[in-house]
Amino acid sequence: IESAKLVKKIGGTCYWLDAAWFPVGFPNGVGNWFSDLANFPNGVEELGDALKEMGLKFVLWFEPERVAAGTEIATQHAEYVYGGEEGGLYKLGDPEAREFLVDLMLRRIKEFKIDVFRTDFNIEPLPFWRAADEPNRVGVTEIRHVEGLYEMWDRIRDENPGLWIDNCASGGRRIDLETISRAVPLWRSDTCCWPGHPEWDQNQTLGLTQYLPLFSCAAWDPSPYVFRSGANPGAIMQFNFLDDNFNEPLARAALAEAKARLEALGLVEGQ
């Protein structure tokens, strides 16, 4: 919550919490879609409530289609997983399994007061699909899974007007006409996962803007060159907010400049 206060203080509009809120954590906790009470004694909903009081939107990470062994879904609903109790790919093409997962995601969105549903996808699905295909029906399992994904996203959006879906998928690996009609890739590439390559950021922007109007990536410090290289229609601040040497004035100036650019282009400031 202290870092959220600093985000608000320098002019941020959203607070982003990635894969650090559920038991066991990432990656071995995917499938435990409930609060880690060791780090969130009052649940993630306490953070969601606090963000709403500050006037910040809430971005929260999920990976619904991957299930790790030993997690709640793997142990209690193994029948919904290609791989069963050993973990694997969630059966989004199975109507019963999909209904269970969508209902679970909808509950968490409401409980945690989520504004941006960040959905990742860090698994190679093809072996699971091929193994589940019937003879002479190669590809059908994949088709049903993708249809199920779109149906899940559509229902989440229908039941949460104004909600954004952040389409991550290991950083920009699921950008197609259907996904970009429903979601925004706020994390366009996993090269955002470490600092030190502003020229890469510039080149990615140059390529993607030829066909994709809205996307983003992270800037790891607020120095003008680094921040400008990563700023797109939005700006992700991967700053050391809680460090003693955090340069708050520089961060505030960087964000103000990004907002001014949007206003000059006639774009409405938002998420």
96-118 pLDDT, tens digit per residue, is 999 999 999 999 999 999 999 99
pLDDT in tens, 221-250: 999 999 999 988 878 999 999 999 999 999
Mean of the per-residue pLDDT values for the chain? 94
Closest by alpha carbon to 73, among 95, 93, 89? Answer: 89
Q: How far is CA 226 from CA 191, 210, 239, in A?
A: 14, 22, 12
Contacts of 76 (CB under 8 A, 6+ apart): none
Contact 241, 11 (CB under 8 A): no
Q: What is the pLDDT of residue 235?
A: 85
Report yes or no: 142 and 125 within 8 Å, Cβ to Cβ.
yes
The pTM for the full model equals 0.94
Which DSSP helix (H) or strand (E) runs through 68? strand 66-68
Task: Determine the Cα–Cα distance for residues 94 and 145; give it in Å rounded to an integer.
Answer: 8
Q: In which residue are the tokens 């996203």 written?
A: 153
pLDDT at 205 over 70: yes
Q: What is the pLDDT of residue 268?
A: 55
Q: What are phi and psi of 173, to 5 degrees?
A: -100, 10
CA separation for the pair 163, 14 (Å, rounded): 13
Q: For residue 213, what pLDDT is reported? A: 85
* Three-class SS state of 118: strand
Task: Please enumerate, as own/partner, the contacts of 266-271 that have beta carbons within 8 Å and a separation of 24 or more.
Answer: 267/233, 269/13, 270/13, 271/13, 271/14, 271/57, 271/115, 271/116, 271/164, 271/234
DSSP letter, residue 17: E
CA distance linking residue 23 with residue 228, whole number of Å: 36
DSSP letter string, 41-56: TT-HHHHHHHHHHHT-
Q: What is the pLDDT of residues 73-101, one digit of tens each?
A: 999 999 999 999 999 999 999 999 999 99
Let me know: does 27 contact 74? Beta carbons within 8 Å: no
Q: How far apart are CA 249 and CA 263, in angstroms?
A: 21
State the residue for tokens 């140059």: 206
